Structure 1
Amino acid sequence: MINLSKRLKNGHAGSNGTTPHKDITRVSIRDKLLIKEVQEMEENLPAGCKVKFEDPDAFHDFKVFISPDDGIYKGGTFTFHIKVPLEYNLCPPTVHCLTKLWHPNINQDGDVCLSILRQNSLDGHGWAPTRRIKDVVWGLYSLFDDLLNFEDPLNAEAAEMYQHDSKGFTVRVKDYIRMYAQNHNGSLHS
């Protein structure tokens, strides 16, 4: 964080000594917000969550590893890639699930259906400039517990299977965990 803070004070957003991006004002605003928000997020992570920054100076690009302690997804570690756009905090971050799983709100391509990630949401829980990165992480964590949404699913086949064959749904979830979500580099159960 110290390196990024110094670069922001000096007005340099480029990490390789080149001329910073032409939209330095927006980059600086995003990065200044993220300096505070990342610290707040790391202090308030849910149990079973870990955050990893490939580049410790790039707070706008990181991974979140979620290992639920309860429920049908227990035993798996699920990896999400979060990118924060230059327009942050006016626009939500983008989130992509890197772990293949059977879930009504995450499709086979890794797209995530979560109200907080929508610019405009019909349920009134969409993105707003008052939201923070920690809210996104908590929302992702909740997808494995209390925010499972079978009424407005992104993966309709998974939702339909749950409604008609909940035992079969659980078996498929456990199969996916066994095949794709155990013993990954981000595992919290090592």
Structure 2
Amino acid sequence: MKERDNQIVFSAELFIAHRFRTDIRSETGLYFTSGDLGSDVPLSDFRHLRGSLVKSRVGGREAHHSAAMLTLARKLKKDDGGKAGRSSATSDSTHRVSIRDRLLTKEVADLEANLPSTCKASFPDENKLHHFQLSVSPDEGYYQSGKFQFEVDVPEAYNMVPPKVRCLTRIWHPNITENGEICLSLLREHSIDGTGWAPTRTLKDVVWGLNSLFTDLLNFDDPLNIDAAEHHLRDKEDFRNKVQDYIKHYAR
């Protein structure tokens, strides 16, 4: 590009020749300003229009222009810029998915070989290892005899970010809300105490952590469901009764 009279002037010949790998010849050298650009011309019309010459004046000098040249730069700049952005975003996304899927191929095999006896994993679509359901059936404690379903979604950015997990079974639990939100430290993307997610963790860690929410990791001191924690503090037996009532209605 050249600057003349405070206007951005393009070499249409060089632009078209480079873009379409074709020769465009003239005796004077074809230039046009951004002000010369008229209505858009479809790229498919280029070969039909490039021989149609019009006259315009640039910098006080007369030059012949192809009609397509007067509109094509703006079109190509817009299209190429959009394609570059889309191509870059698509490439990044595909790369991340590829990394995730390679990791999951190994991790799912390891998970299935090391599931706790109280857990069962199921994959609605065996071609989509990033989405599965986990069933936890505690054999001790408050939640014994219940069957609790979790939905696990592994995002494209895995393993730089943790899986997204939601409890599908309504439950009365200090660390799980009745809407299915879960408080489990290793599912936190950012944690100041170092107990949150790290790329060294795997799906097996997630499953064992969810299983432990019903035993070792059951935490009344740092609750997500404050009402459930306070209920336990007030009356442990009544808390147990409500847990069993929820199991009877929602977790069979």
Normalising by structure 1, what TM-score? 0.83
Q: Give the alignment partner of residue 146 of structure 1, picking from 196, 211, 216.
A: 216
Letter matched to residue 147 of structure 1: L
- Indicate the structure with greater helix content: 2
2:93 & 2:180 partners in 1: Cα distance? 30
Q: Deviations over 1:19-57 (max 9, x none)?
A: x98721111100000000000001010011000000001
In 1, Cα distance between equivalents of 2:156 and 2:198: 15
Amino acid at match of 1:119: E
Candidates 101, 105, 120, aligned match of 1:50: 120
1:11-26 pair list within 5 angstroms: 23-26=93-96
* CA distance in structure 2 between the aligned counterparts of 1:122 and 1:169, rounded to whole angstroms: 32
CA RMSD of superposed structures (Å): 1.2
Q: Higher strand share goes to which structure? A: 2
- Structure 2 equivalent of residue 88 of structure 1: 158
Question: Residues 126-163 of structure 1: CA distance to partner in whole angstroms, max 9, x if unpaired?
Answer: 00000000100000000000101111111000000111
Match of 1:163, SS? helix
Alpha-carbon deviations, 1:106-144, whole Å to 9, x = none? Answer: 001100000000011233210000000010000000000
Q: Which runs of 5+ in 1 are unaligned?
A: 1-19, 183-190
State the partner residue of 1:164.
234
Structure 2 residue matching 1:23: 3-state secondary structure: helix
Aligned to 1:103: 173
In structure 1, the residue matched to 2:59 is none
1:115/1:123 contact within 8 Å kept: no
Q: Deviations over 1:70-128 (max 9, x none)?
A: 11101010000000000000000000000001000000110000000001123321000
Alpha-carbon distance in structure 1 between the residues aligned to 2:176 and 2:233: 17
Q: Where has structure 1 moved over 4 Å in runs of 4 or more?
A: none
- Partner of residue 12, structure 1: none
Q: Which residue of 1 aligns with 2:77?
A: none
Q: Which runs of 5+ in 2 are unaligned?
A: 1-89
DSSP 3-state at the match of 1:144: coil
Name the amino acid aligned to 1:24: T
Q: Do the aligned residues in 2 keep the contact of 1:67 with 1:76 (CA within 8 Å)? A: yes
In the alignment, which residue of structure 2 is the partner of 1:3? none
Tell me how far apart the structure 2 counterparts of residues 180 and 115 of structure 1 sit (CA, whole Å).
26
**Identity between Structure 1 and Structure 2 (%):** 55
Letter in 2 for 1:123: D
